[in-house]
Amino acid sequence: MEDRYDRNEIFGKRVKAGKRTYFFDLKATRSDDYYLTITESKKKFAQDGSFVFEKHKIFLYKEDFEKFIEALHESYEKVKELMPDYDFSKPAREWEEEDKETGWD
């Protein structure tokens, strides 16, 4: 089973964003085709004080990569246009500091 997992998993990248973490995993099919899974994982606390991870996943197939990247870029540029004074790098730095303080790192 481990060999199959290693063969399927080609590349992985983790992006920490405060209480959320995004995983970008490039995978191969049995016929050596490729697809990307994008997973959002968010830590949530239960009423008993324990925590669980809420996950949402998108499967993106190679034929859609360019369209997806283009739409994401256009959306990002539109937000920057609508919020010209906002420092988009600031929240990431603040979340990283908060993660260190709370031990969620």
Whether the pLDDT of residue 3 is over 70: the answer is: no
**pTM of the predicted model, to two decimals?**
0.71
Of residues 7 and 34, more confidence is placed in 34
pLDDT of residue 105: 47
pLDDT of residue 95: 55
Whether 20 and 40 have beta carbons less than 8 Å apart is answered as: yes
Class of the CATH domain delimited by 2-102: alpha beta
Token pair listed for 21 = 């973490």
Q: Could you give the residue ranges of the DSSP H alpha helices within the chain?
A: 2-8, 65-82, 90-102
* pLDDT tens-place string over residues 52-99: 889 999 999 999 999 999 999 999 999 999 999 988 776 665 656 655
* pLDDT tens-place string over residues 19-60: 889 999 999 998 989 999 999 999 888 888 888 889 999 999
Rounded CA gap, 69 and 74, in Å? 9
